[in-house]
């Protein structure tokens, strides 16, 4: 997947001033389910979990919109190259948290080997405002979008994240959040990937507003949120479940926004792979007898429908909750996503 700088030449748009960030060492995955009490303001600690040449994972807090938000940050091993690093923002699913997605996906291992930063933000009430409809629990439907923007800006400034190589991914509700960021902030991201997450529909609809590479990975036998989408989900006593497009319609919406042509579908071992090639910039006019420059077909929107897979992260070693269906081993979603982000970028 190639960066769409050649498609979107808009500058990165950042939110206003941010307040102080408090950083704590991460005391292991299992113990990281809730933020530790805030310590005195300080820089990143070097204690806990670090090895030679590797900065420890940290739990940090960020003041946004008058409130405090949390995230886990994984830094890759120190190397000779101290330049800008790609950044992956990874959103957990509804009812889960950053540590759960970290264990489920092991993104930090694969991303660290590629020299990428990974930030796992924590959702309020263990969820995300992936749709545009206000609810009693989420009266400000744009809050999580602004938090994500602020987090990216902060990591660009403090961790030398590359603003031209920022990616978003997530699982389930977190996958829908990643798609919302790609749809509404296409100039902010170089790509997005969703596992078991679809675009919100109905009164909470999110519509792509510009070209951005997107990958949707979905289980063909998802019993939690069906492959065909959920136009009329059942009521939930705690928080309304938002309706959604089908997995294919979610991907196709990004393809249309990117000016893509007709898709091509191939049957692979264990999954079906559909690809839309996004339109590049208009072909340059011929000059001095030279032929016009063609559009660049490298950037894509892709849909992977995984056979014999439920509402799960393909390739994960973590046993899913009862009722979520099987986990396919025909595909490693983590490597597939990171390859999609980094290929030819």
For the segment 188-230, what is each residue's pLDDT rounded down to a tens digit?
A: 999 999 999 999 999 999 999 999 999 999 999 999 999 999 9
**pLDDT at residue 87 tops 70:** yes
Q: What is the pLDDT of residue 272?
A: 98
Q: How confident is the model at residue 55 (pLDDT cuts 50, 70, 90)?
A: low
Q: In angstroms, rounded to a whole number, what is the distance separating the alpha carbons of residues 216 and 254?
A: 11
Q: What is the pLDDT of residue 57?
A: 84
Q: How confident is the model at residue 22 (pLDDT cuts 50, 70, 90)?
A: very low
Percent of the chain with pLDDT over 70: 77
Tokens 């938002």, residue located: 242
Percent of the chain with pLDDT over 90: 71
Which of the pair, 284 or 330, is modelled with greater confidence? 330
**pLDDT at residue 295 tops 60:** no
Q: How confident is the model at residue 81 (pLDDT cuts 50, 70, 90)?
A: low
**pLDDT at residue 27 tops 80:** no
Which of the pair, 81 or 219, is modelled with greater confidence? 219
Q: What is the pLDDT of residue 243?
A: 96
Per 3-state DSSP, the chain is made up of helix, strand and coil in percentages (nearest 5) of: 20, 25, 55
Cβ atoms within 10 Å of 344's Cβ, excluding its own:
8
**pLDDT at residue 13 tops 80:** no
Q: What is the pLDDT of residue 40?
A: 29
Q: What is the pLDDT of residue 240?
A: 86
Q: What is the pLDDT of residue 236?
A: 82
Q: How confident is the model at residue 140 (pLDDT cuts 50, 70, 90)?
A: very high
Q: What is the pLDDT of residue 344?
A: 43
State the Cα angle at 320 between 315 and 324, rounded to 5°: 105
Which of the pair, 20 or 68, is modelled with greater confidence? 68
Q: In angstroms, rounded to a whole number, what is the distance separating the alpha carbons of residues 159 and 84?
A: 8
Residues 6+ apart with CB under 8 A from 252: 263, 276, 301
- Min mean pLDDT across 44-53, 89-98, 156-165, 282-291 is at 44-53
**pLDDT at residue 145 tops 60:** yes
Q: What is the pLDDT of residue 21?
A: 39
Q: What is the pLDDT of residue 238?
A: 80
State the Cα angle at 190 between 138 and 276, rounded to 5°: 100
Q: What is the pLDDT of residue 343?
A: 79
Q: Alpha carbon of 75 to those of 4, 83, 115: distances in Å? A: 25, 13, 8
- Min mean pLDDT across 41-55, 84-98, 279-293, 306-320 is at 41-55
Q: What is the pLDDT of residue 268?
A: 97
Q: How confident is the model at residue 54 (pLDDT cuts 50, 70, 90)?
A: very low
Full-model pTM? 0.83
Cβ atoms within 10 Å of 126's Cβ, excluding its own:
16
**pLDDT at residue 296 tops 50:** no
Sheet arrangement for strand 21-25: 21-25, 58-64, 67-74, 117-121, 85-91, 161-171, 191-195, 214-219, 300-306, 271-277, 264-268
For 156, the token pair is 């660009």
């Amino acid at each position: 997947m190639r960066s769409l700088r050649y498609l979107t030449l808009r500058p990165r748009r950042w939110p206003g001033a941010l307040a102080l960030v408090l950083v704590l060492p991460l005391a292991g995955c299992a113990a990281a389910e809730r933020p530790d009490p805030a310590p005195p303001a300080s820089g990143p600690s070097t204690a806990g979990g670090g090895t030679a040449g590797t900065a420890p994972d940290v739990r940090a807090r960020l003041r946004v919109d008058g409130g405090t938000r949390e995230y886990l940050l994984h830094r890759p091993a120190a190397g000779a190259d101290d330049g800008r690093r790609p950044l992956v923002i990874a959103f957990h699913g509804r009812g889960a948290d950053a540590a759960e997605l970290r264990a489920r996906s092991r993104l930090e291992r694969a991303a660290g080997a590629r020299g990428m930063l990974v930030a796992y933000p924590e959702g309020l009430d263990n969820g995300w405002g992936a749709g545009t409809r206000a609810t009693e629990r989420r009266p400000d439907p744009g809050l999580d979008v602004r938090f994500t923007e602020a987090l990216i800006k902060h990591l660009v400034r403090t961790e030398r994240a590359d603003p031209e190589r920022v990616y978003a991914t997530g699982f389930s509700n977190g996958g829908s959040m990643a798609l919302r960021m790609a749809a509404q902030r296409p100039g902010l991201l170089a790509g997005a990937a969703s596992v078991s997450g679809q675009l919100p529909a109905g009164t909470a609809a999110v519509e792509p507003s510009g070209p951005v590479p997107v990958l949707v990975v979905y289980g063909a036998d998802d019993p939690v949120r069906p492959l065909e989408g959920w136009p009329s989900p059942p009521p939930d006593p705690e928080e309304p479940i938002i309706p959604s497009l089908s997995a294919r319609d979610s991907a196709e919406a990004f393809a249309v926004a990117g000016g893509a042509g007709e898709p091509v579908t191939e049957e692979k071992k264990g999954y079906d792979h559909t690809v839309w090639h996004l339109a590049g910039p208009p072909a340059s006019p011929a000059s001095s007898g030279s032929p016009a420059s063609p559009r660049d077909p490298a950037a894509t929107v892709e849909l992977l429908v995984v056979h014999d897979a439920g509402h799960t992260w393909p390739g994960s070693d973590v046993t899913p909750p009862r009722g979520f269906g099987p986990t396919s081993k025909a595909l490693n979603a983590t490597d597939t996503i990171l390859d999609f982000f980094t290929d030819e970028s």
